[in-house]
Amino acid sequence: MIDVVGFLISWLTLLGIYAILALTLNFESGTSGVTNFGKVFFYGLGAYVGATLTVYLFLLLNGVDVSKTPPYDVSGIVLLGELAGKNPALNLGLLALSLATAFLVAGVIGYLLSYPIIRVGPAFVGFTLLSTGELFRIFLQHYEPVGGSRGLMSIPGPFSWVPQPRLREVLFLALVLAVLAATYLVMDRLTNSPLGRTLRAVRDDEVAALCMGKHVPKLKATVLFIGSGFSGVAGVLLAYYLTSVNPDMFVPAVTFNVWAMIILGGMGNLRGALLGASIFTFIDRALSFVTPQLGVTVISPDYVRGFAVGLVMVLVLLYRPQGLLPEGRVETVAWEELGGGASG
Amino acid sequence: MVLVANILEVKGVSKRFGGVVALQDVSLSVPSQGIVGLIGPNGSGKTTLFNVVTGFYVPDKGEVWFNDGNRSERIDGLNPNEVFAKGIVRTFQIPRLFKSLTVLENLLVTPFAQKGENPLKALKPSSWIEEERALARKAVSLLRRFGLLEYANVRVSELSGAHIKLLETIRGLMTPAKLFLLDEPAAGVEAGAAHELFRLVRELRSEGYTFLIVEHRIEILMQYVDYVYVLHNGQLLAEGKPEEVTSNPKVVEAYIGGGSA
Amino acid sequence: MLPGYPYSILNFFQYTFFYILFSIPLTLSYRNTKVINFAHANFISYGIYTAVFLNGLLGNTSLALACLAAFAVGGSIALVNHLLVFRPLEKRGASMSLIMIASMGLWIMYNYALYMLADIAHYYTLKNFISYGRIVYADVPEVELLGLRLQQSFVAGGLAALVLVASLYLFLEKTTLGKAMRAVADNPVLAEISGIPRNTIVNLTWLIAGGAAAVGGAIWTSFSGTVTPTSADAMILQVFTVSFIGGLVSLLRTGLGAVAIAFIENVGIAALNTYFGVPISFRPFLTFVTLLTILIAFPPLGAAGGLPFRFRSRKVRAE
Amino acid sequence: GGAAGQAPGAAQQAPKKVYTIGFTLPLTGELSSIGKIWEKVVYLAIDDLNKEAQAYGFNVEFKAVILDDGTTPEKALQNVQTLAQQGIKVIIGPAASSQVKAVKGFVDSNQIVLISPSSTAPTLAIPGDFIFRTVGSDAGQARVLATLAYQEGARKVIVFHRNDEYGNAFADFFKKYFSELGGSSIDVPYQTGLSDYAAEVASLASKVQSEKVDAVVLISFDTDGGNILSHAAESPVLSSVRWFVSEGPHGAAELKAPAVGAFAAKTKLLGTRPLFIGNPLYEDFKKRLKEKYGVDASVFCDTLYDAVMLAGWAMLRAGSSDGNAIRSALIEVAKHYYGVSGWAIFDEAGDKAYQDYGVWAIVKTDGGYDFKDVGVYERGSIVFTAKPYP
Amino acid sequence: MVGVLRLVDVYSGYGKMEVLHGVSFELGKGEIAAVLGPNGAGKTTMLNTIFGLATLHRGEVSFNGVKLNGRKPSEIVKLGVSYAPQLDNVFPNLTVEENLVVGAFIRGKDPGIRSDIEDILDLFPEIKRRRNQKAKTLSGGERQMLAVARALMTRPSVLLLDEPTSGLSPKAGATLMNKIKEIQQTRGVAILLVEQNVARALEIADRAAVLVGGKIVREGSADEFKSIPIERLFFGK
Ligand SMILES: Nc1ncnc2c1ncn2[C@@H]1O[C@H](COP(=O)(O)OP(=O)(O)OP(=O)(O)O)[C@@H](O)[C@H]1O
Ligand SMILES: Nc1ncnc2c1ncn2[C@@H]1O[C@H](COP(=O)(O)OP(=O)(O)OP(=O)(O)O)[C@@H](O)[C@H]1O
Ligand SMILES: [Mg+2]
Ligand SMILES: [Mg+2]
């Protein structure tokens, strides 16, 4: 009776998007010690860049005058819906363009934002970024060209030319998983390299690292560039997935969910980030199948689910206080030298 | 002092913290390939001087010049990482190891401008793997020399006090800098290891490196240095060859004290 | 004359009181335990709902009683969190960020528990507790001052903030236990070695932090037009902002932060609106801009760390 | 746990066919106070639906699966997916337009019929999709509110409104219609989701003073609206101008407080709301909701109730679990359905075609203050059925 | 001689890891005993075990016949044992004076605290000048002095000192040693001293033990050790 395939597709898609965020946050905060409480900012930035680019170019390239038919008005929305499936090349081209632009825009802004946070400690870095995210959200609400408080909707997805919904969902899932795999590969290479080691050193003691010749500000900027770039990409995927963006989607709670994921899984451990994201999204979903069947009447059954999510989080932490997968050592060839040395 | 170039020259440096005068008009110079000692009572400003030289503090007055072979540069007021890049490495009196890294990793972090620290190259392991191997070999041999090899894969938060101190110094020695500033490398370290450390310093000197060393265990230090400066209350009290200094009554009075060795 | 006078000015004081009541406990708990406690919002919301349930179920109209009960409830929640979650985690070697996430878990649990409680209360009384109007208390006077009517919440909030600040000042500065509190925060292991009963102090810290914030919550019910289970969540960012201005460690700076943010949010936005036409929907925007400005212009030291890095390092001079 | 608790009485004959309707409601978050009332409405409606179906001889049972979406778009999508994966083809909710937008793609491509009882954003008036709304769009109500304000003598007003899709769109329409009538208005948006609006109200007061307006037009939801009115009641300046209010605060319990009641009387506060006035079904519905669950019918309770009824009858009529069939059946059923919110006919965009609007006030009763419908909008003007304020 | 502090067959370490493998040791009333040994031998761990900061796997630690096993550090201090650790031994954000005030915490409102602070600061003139300076800004040696000073504030009957002279100038180190001796003689405090500077330690100690690899390899009177090249013992066997 339960559509297991549908469940898996919808779960994995959202999981994939969150896992990208978790991997980047893990890289920034777990490995490098840039406590990024503003994850949602870069995520939202990517989503808006992708969405704006797609809807405007879609209309412009189809010869629509956006000053008369802006994409956030009903007429524009209806037009977008009609044009969405007409030209596969356009959809795919815009996907590529959106991904690249979102990566760059979010990355560069992350890079620039590292400037004001250089001289403050971790908690303040976090709050500075969080505040920036809130500023961004309020700005979006007032900024008409991206729809203001209406947001944008009817964003033509990359596969909206595929007629069968199931196939379309599978294709999108494949896209998400491919991006996830690429993110994982990059993060894995970076963390298990001299750079990863240096970043961990910066995390442990910025001052000592600086005195050991590490250009800490530049390193942080680089980390924020990479992390934010990938978060921006995740944002684009979200925009296509929901086919709409709205300022209210990008509230600090999103950031904290991602934090919960990486800490649950184990800070500084890439696979931990994936595991944390999986567990976190799974519990919430699985419970929403169960709780309505509980037969609770006095209180809303769904409250039981919300409560249980919090409880599971606390229990898992109590049971595994290092997170599920603790941080390992930086895996480079250096250890091979030790093998020879230790035996000798 | 005309023929031997001075790698480091401190000229009339002063530094105060609120009411505390930590350094007052201190001038000293370190000859290239020298092993120079810097001693003085507690709180006399030795560490502060290191901090000024390495860019940790900006001096209130005075200048610090660094002479790299043929070029002489003024380095006070630079950022610590820029000073490091010029070839000056310091160690901390109160160790500041990277606590969540293992012993081996702590050593591997130090070397400057590793290929694999560049994000783009980091993505391509083949570009840095050779360098990494070479560094690891160097680190392993250093660890072996000081009997720390068995701890190579241990996080430094699990080391004993003196091993932490020792590692702090060895970490500094991992990178081929021109001038090393060591802040009490032998504090708490057992005599055998301490001597080993100074022997290594001598070897490195013969390879062309220069050392400025703060140390209170003068019975060890004096066997290895060729020149000594004495600070007292932030001012230079005496300088000279080890024997001269240890027999200088002012130094005995202020620093070495009466009966003890 | 300032725009919005006199309401904006009154609100400025009113909010200062509230921010003191909400943020100083937060700063205190972080300073002494190094736990960034996301569940801090719960202390406030349970304080609010202690007063609401007392009023809605028992018809209580005494703010003093509500405050006492709120202190007990908030304090117990904080203690229970600490004893059942934070301390076991710490004993098992969990990092601070992990404990922070545990506090997020607790936050979620308590939020839903509050909704459940409201449901149960509804079941018995058929009253709506999810959205509850302002409570008028019988035991707090409204004061006339220079022709201005100071609401109950103004009187009670001012009094409570004063009591909190004065008693914390006396406690921290004048008693050894207060000094010991700072020592625990500074170096917990050494504190124990020195014979300071770290557990007692940490317990006490949580009791005060939870209790005082909850008292603030109880007084909030006599101020805000409507309270909901998410009232506290909606303001927690502001509360954190105030604490962050205090560097999370300095109570004095937190107090100044309370004044600054309350000023900006009330008088500041009104002035900008009047003279520059800035829409008042920019109020939260302004709060965060203030925070960013303060963080960048005067980076708080202490917990803030600080890198000896100068953007304009002197140019190298060569010969 | 099984679903046994749902069905009281013993099963006698052939097993009943079970129809499940999914709900995604704001049981937590900003709209939770309405969400909780809606939950009760759902119970009542499902109950009624079962009784009616039985009376007509159908051997079926309707069941509700209610999920909480916390008023967030992402959660709403997740709920809709979860419900769809249980084979549910008809979903009622979510409350906010931003949420409806986020689920639109999924319901359209999976052919799931979605009925929102409260989304009023004009941008969702899209023909041919699977989204239905049992309430008229904001444009209609804005016209009524403008008419009301103008007819009551206001010429210069401040439009104090939520800075979100609902508030901004509503305010835009209001300003348009109000200026067509000959009035002028000043736009004052306020940020949503705050815990309290005292600062906003203070700013509003100074604006009212400096601009010398006749009235404030408040466009809000219930919690923020209640909050704002409670604070406004404290201010002599704001008590000296007229107040005209959208449907949001209607039913908010905190507005029955004596201070607010007195304020309403002093400012002759009037509100508009989508309502088919003089509808005996509605009066009955209101009474039964109060009796059975102890809650007052607040805003959109009637549209939600009708949404459930329409969904149930459409499912019975379609007889299959094919989304397209249910969709067509729904359109058909609505053509002949007269419910607590009046005639339910949908226009080509799937929105309520004929929405009537009423005027409400807060009046003094024996027990204190209560909401009362005091007028209707008829052919371009407001006709009062009662005199709310002396 | 009665042992005030006794370790009987102690196995201890950190978590599951074992560092001490069967250490038995007795500190007599009013005596100074030196614990010597190479780096990483377990000297600090031995002190930590006494103070309940390491995990005791097996064996017994007692003070004046009171079992210390499983007690919290704060209880142990109240019994009259005080400890100046090797690392992290000051409160960095408290001033020198506050460090001392807090160090005397267990004495409550004892009016003698004020005068004790003055007395102890007189012992260490270097830090007396810095009494209102935060501990984190002290020089390495000043910090070390503060650590010892703080430990003295509880008026202990047993004092555990972990490398108190490391980082002190020769003069200051010698002075400190003399003061330790003086404290022992005037106040009858028993002192367990871990020290790298063997000669200096043996000068004031009554008894000594050598700890290697988590085991005591030799124990005896200080004079006995003076005659043997003790550092060979470190690597002996
Ligand atoms: N940030 C600071 N603020 C105030 N005083 C300081 C600060 N840093 C150092 N001092 C003071 O400056 C003096 C010099 O300190 P410094 O660390 O240079 O001494 P040192 O010679 O290295 O001593 P030691 O041998 O004990 O390490 C000390 O008395 C110290 O208290
Ligand atoms: N917190 C810890 N966790 C795990 N292992 C530890 C910890 N602290 C110390 N060790 C290990 O226990 C052993 C003994 O350490 P200890 O600190 O007791 O040595 P020590 O004799 O005091 O040496 P030193 O002269 O260097 O101070 C060392 O091998 C060290 O690596
Ligand atoms: Mg020093
Ligand atoms: Mg030790």
- Tell me whether strands C317-318 and B71-74 are parallel, antiparallel or unpaired: antiparallel
Per-residue tokens: E7:
């370790």
Provide the whole-model pTM: 0.91
CB of B42 within 6 A of ligand 1: the answer is yes
Q: How far is the CA of B236 from the centre of ligand 1 (A)?
A: 15
Candidates E52, A323, D240, D252; CA nearest to C100 is A323
* pLDDT for position E70: 86
In angstroms, the separation between the Cα of residue C3 and the nearest Cα of chain E is 44
Bridge partners for D113 per DSSP: D90
At D301-354, the pLDDT tens digits run: 999 999 999 999 999 999 888 899 999 999 999 999 988 988 889 998 899 888
CB pairs under 8 A between B and C: 34
Q: What is the mean pLDDT of residues A267-284?
A: 90
- Which domains does chain B show, CATH number per domain? 1-87+176-261 (3.40.50.300), 100-175 (no CATH)
Distance of CA A235 to the CA centre of its chain: 6
Q: What is the mean pLDDT of residues E81-103?
A: 91
Q: Given A303, A307, A317, which is nearest C101 (Cβ)?
A: A317
Atom of ligand 1 nearest to the CA of B20: 5
d(CA D69, CA D61): 25
Q: Given D191, D254, D293, which is nearest C283 (Cβ)?
A: D191
Let me know if residue A304 belongs to a domain: no
Q: How far is the CA of E211 from the centre of ligand 2 (A)?
A: 12
Secondary structure string (H, E, C) spanning D21-82: EEEEECCCCCCHHHHHHHHHHHHHHHHHHHHHHHHCCCCEEEEEEEEECCCCHHHHHHHHHH
Q: Is B57 on the interface with E (CB under 8 A)?
A: no
At D118-173, the pLDDT tens digits run: 998 888 888 889 999 998 888 889 999 999 999 999 999 999 999 988 899 999 99
Q: How far is the CA of C290 from the centre of ligand 3 (A)?
A: 40
Atom of ligand 1 nearest to the CA of E143: 26
Task: Determine whether the interchain pair A195/B122 forms a contact, defined as Cβ–Cβ distance below 8 Å.
Answer: yes
Per-residue tokens: A131:
């505040």
At E60-83, the pLDDT tens digits run: 999 998 999 888 888 899 999 999
d(CA D161, CA D247): 12
C108 within 8 A of D203, measured Cβ to Cβ: no
Closest ligand to the CA of B21: 1
Q: How far is the CA of E14 from the centre of ligand 4 (A)?
A: 14
Task: Determine whether the interchain pair A248/D164 forms a contact, defined as Cβ–Cβ distance below 8 Å.
Answer: yes
Let me know if residue C205 belongs to a domain: yes
Buried-exposed string C168-183: b where 16+ CB fall within 10 A, e elsewhere: beeebeeebbebbbbb
Chains that touch D (3 or more CB pairs under 8 A): A, C
Q: Residues of C numbered 288-317 whose beta carbons fall under 8 angstroms of chain D's beta carbons: which are they? A: none
Let me know if residue A121 belongs to a domain: yes
Buried-exposed string D153-168: b where 16+ CB fall within 10 A, e elsewhere: ebeebbbbbbbbbbbb
Closest residue to atom 27 of ligand 1, CA basis:
E140
C313: nearest CA partner in chain B: B78
Tally the domains of chain C.
1
Q: Residues of A numbered 166-205 whose beta carbons fall under 8 angstroms of chain B's beta carbons: which are they? A: 186, 189-190, 193-198, 200-201, 203-205
Residue B3 has pLDDT above 60, yes or no: no
Per-residue tokens: C55:
């009023």
Q: Output DSSP code: residue E206.
A: S
E196: which chain B residues are within 8 Å (Cβ-Cβ)? 162, 188-191
CB of E136 within 6 A of ligand 1: the answer is no
C233: nearest CA partner in chain D: D195
Which residue out of B158, B166, B189, B190 has the highest number of ligand 2 atoms within 8 Å of its CB and is therefore the one to mutate?
B158
CB of B191 within 6 A of ligand 1: the answer is no
Q: What is the mean pLDDT of residues E136-146?
A: 91
B76: which chain C residues are within 8 Å (Cβ-Cβ)? 314
Let me know if residue C131 belongs to a domain: yes
Residue A322 has pLDDT above 80, yes or no: no
Q: Who contacts B184 (Cβ-Cβ below 8 Å, separation ≥6)?
A: B93, B165, B214, B215, B216, E140, E167
- Mutate: best of A211, A215, A230, A269, partner B, most B CBs <10 A: A211
In angstroms, the separation between the Cα of residue A280 and the nearest Cα of chain C is 11
Candidates A7, A76, A241, A48; CA nearest to D104 is A241
A259: nearest CA partner in chain C: C101
Q: Is C133 on the interface with A (CB under 8 A)?
A: no
Query: Amino acid identity of E110?
Result: D
CB of B45 within 6 A of ligand 1: the answer is yes
With touching defined as 3 or more inter-chain CB pairs under 8 Å, the answer for chains D and B is no
Domain that holds residue C113: 16-230
Task: Determine whether the interchain pair D199/C269 forms a contact, defined as Cβ–Cβ distance below 8 Å.
Answer: yes
Give the number of C-alpha atoms closer than 13 A to the C-alpha of residue B233, restricted to the C-beta side.
5
Candidates C130, C131, C204, C219; CA nearest to C168 is C204
Least confident range from A63-72, D286-295, E1-10: namely E1-10
d(CA A70, CA A90): 19
Q: Is A307 on the interface with D (CB under 8 A)?
A: no
Domain ranges (residues) in chain E: 3-235
Tally the domains of chain A.
1
Residues of C with a Cβ under 8 Å from any E Cβ are 176, 179-180, 182-183, 186-187, 189-198, 302
Task: Determine whether the interchain pair D195/C232 forms a contact, defined as Cβ–Cβ distance below 8 Å.
Answer: yes
CB atoms within 10 A of CB C303: 22
In angstroms, the separation between the Cα of residue C123 and the nearest Cα of chain A is 7
Let me know if residue A263 belongs to a domain: no
Closest residue to atom 6 of ligand 1, CA basis:
E137
Candidates E1, D210, A152; CA nearest to C275 is D210
The environment of the single-atom ion ligand 3, i.e. residues with CB closer than 5 A, is B 47, 93; E 139-140
Q: Is A3 on the interface with D (CB under 8 A)?
A: yes
C246: which chain A residues are within 8 Å (Cβ-Cβ)? none
Q: Is residue B32 helix, strand or coil?
A: coil
Residue A185 has pLDDT above 90, yes or no: yes
* pLDDT for position A56: 95
Closest ligand to the CA of B215: 1
Q: How far is the CA of B186 from the centre of ligand 3 (A)?
A: 13
Task: Determine whether the interchain pair D32/C230 forms a contact, defined as Cβ–Cβ distance below 8 Å.
Answer: yes
Q: Output DSSP code: residue D353.
A: S
d(CA C273, CA D188): 10
Please give the CATH number for the structural domain made up of E3-235. Answer: 3.40.50.300
Chains that touch C (3 or more CB pairs under 8 A): A, B, D, E
Closest ligand to the CA of E16: 2
Per-residue tokens: C232:
């506290």
Query: Amino acid identity of A274?
Result: L
Task: Determine whether the interchain pair C186/E92 forms a contact, defined as Cβ–Cβ distance below 8 Å.
Answer: yes
Q: Given B56, B71, B78, which is nearest C314 (Cβ)?
A: B78
* pLDDT for position B47: 94
Closest residue to atom 8 of ligand 1, CA basis:
E137
CB of E137 within 6 A of ligand 1: the answer is yes
Let me know if residue A117 belongs to a domain: yes
Q: How far is the CA of E125 from the centre of ligand 3 (A)?
A: 17
Let me know if residue A74 belongs to a domain: yes
Chains that touch E (3 or more CB pairs under 8 A): B, C
Let me know if residue A64 belongs to a domain: yes
Candidates E61, E78, E71; CA nearest to E27 is E61
Residues lower than pLDDT 70 in chain D? 1-13, 277
pLDDT band at B27 (very low <50, low <70, confident <90, very high): very high
For chain C of 319 residues, list the mean pLDDT of each consecutive stretch of 10.
Answer: 67 94 94 88 96 94 95 97 93 80 90 94 88 90 79 91 92 82 86 89 93 96 91 91 82 90 90 87 89 76 58 55
